[in-house]
Amino acid sequence: MSPRLPIEIWRQIFGFALDDIPDIDVVPAHQPFPTIHPGLVATPTHLSTAYSICLVSRDWHQIGAELLYHTVVVQHEHAEDILKALRRPNINGRSLGACVMELFFTFEPAIYLLDILARCRNIRYLRVSNSMATVNTNDRLDLDFNFLERIDWMGTPSNAFYSVVLRSPNLRHLFMGPSMHSLFEGVHVDRTASPVLCPSLQIFQSYNFPNQLSSSVVRPGDFPSVSHVIMSAITLNAVLRPDPLILQQLGPQISILELYSPHHTVITSMEDIATLLPNLQELRFTVCKQSFAVTDTLRSTIRTLQVRIPPKAFVSHGPPLEGFAFIEEALVQCLDSFCSTVNFPHLSEVVLHDEEDHLSSSQRIPSLMTLRPSFKLKRSDGRLLYGGPD
């Protein structure tokens, strides 16, 4: 390796030259409408390249190890081997565990969870599958994870889960699985060590949104940065009730509400949403599977809609034209309900996520947009479809 080029420059060179090499220090930003079922992580395709880099020289070995161990997928049959590897220093004396940025547990490696975590203190992204419910609920991990930005925890919340959450001051995105029905219930929190819970958390994402925050643990001022909620539309309807629910505590600070696509059409009251989330700025949902009841008294603060257009197969088993016509009709009715300047005085932008380009030939939407000329209708790639100048 040339002495004139620092390692950071070589990292960038490898990144430009090889498309499949991950960005070492960046957790991918959340994109609208993620899959609700995060599947098994595919084996990274850059491993053979990273291994070859390791063999060139001592300096290149440092970069190669970072690439080779950037994403570690822990499966049952390999968990013990991975743990042994993480215990060994690499050729430069640095722990291999320090190279791990993304750590994904699948299948049933429960007994290795805490040991492997303890050796991966620099991780940015932790994903734990639902098989991890077998983790001993008495186990704790008294280590700080200062770089951890995202946790996907599909299993039952345990002391291991809470100890990681509480020791991750820069956690920005928390995805909670179907077993998470309450948050911090029955958990002892040292308020001296954690005066504010999850101070950097911005995004709550959940299959079944927690019914409540533990009143014995959570205080006003906790979760001060949460502004984005991702949840099922069915769950949203369930929480639109006068119970001590998590959204009622955090409601005034939520600016983005993103709804998963249900298996059947769900109707949600916009009046209830406006009451529960009085400062909502952006609403994201899937047309054909989500509709909203709008009353004459509604005064919404929403400024942006992000609307997913589902694949034809998602809405129709008939001919393609039937699927297109159904989608177009659903979108027209949807946009029509949001065209009222009385109910939605601040709404100015609609972003369509239309992967199959259903609506490029639509003749009905341009005429509909004349009802509110100030609207901008865009594609998710930024291209302006209808409306005023961009």
Q: What's at 32, amino acid-wise?
A: P
> What pLDDT was estimated at residue 305?
94
DSSP 13-31: HHHHH-TTSPPTT-PPPP-
- Residue 78 and residue 103 in contact, taking contact as beta carbons nearer than 8 Å: no
CA angle 305-308-310, nearest 5°? 155
Going from N- to C-terminal start, the domains of the chain cover 262-390
Q: Predicted confidence band at 169 (pLDDT cuts at 50, 70, 90)?
A: very high
- Cα–Cα nearest to 128, from 152, 163, 93, 94: 152
Query: Per-residue pLDDT for 213 more than 70?
Result: no
Find the mean pLDDT for residues 47-57.
78
Show the DSSP H helices in 282-371 as ranges: 312-315, 320-337, 364-369
Most confident of 20-34, 85-99, 219-233, 350-364: 219-233
- What's the length of the chain? 390
Q: Predicted confidence band at 173 (pLDDT cuts at 50, 70, 90)?
A: very high
Q: Predicted confidence band at 134 (pLDDT cuts at 50, 70, 90)?
A: very low
Least-confidence region, from 2-6, 17-21, 57-61, 260-264: 17-21
CA angle 124-128-131, nearest 5°? 170
Query: Per-residue pLDDT for 342 more than 80?
Result: yes
Q: What CA–CA distance (Å, rounded) separates 145 from 106?
A: 21
Query: Per-residue pLDDT for 314 more than 70?
Result: no
Q: Predicted confidence band at 170 (pLDDT cuts at 50, 70, 90)?
A: very high
> What pLDDT was estimated at residue 256?
96
Percent of the chain with pLDDT over 70: 75
b (16+ CB within 10 A) / e for 27-53: beebeebeeeeeeebeebebeebbeeb
Sign, CA torsion 284/293/354/178: positive
Query: Per-residue pLDDT for 67 more than 70?
Result: yes
More confident call, 143 vs 366:
143
Query: Per-residue pLDDT for 120 more than 80?
Result: yes
> What pLDDT was estimated at residue 367?
72
> What pLDDT was estimated at residue 317?
47
More confident call, 103 vs 107:
103
Considering only CA atoms, give the Rg of the chain: 24
Percent of the chain with pLDDT over 90: 16
* Residues 226-263 pLDDT 10s: 999 988 777 677 666 554 456 677 889 999 999 887 66
Whether the pTM exceeds 0.75: the reply is yes
More confident call, 176 vs 247:
176
Averaged pLDDT of the chain: 77
b (16+ CB within 10 A) / e for 66-80: bbbbbbbbbbeeebe
Q: Predicted confidence band at 53 (pLDDT cuts at 50, 70, 90)?
A: confident
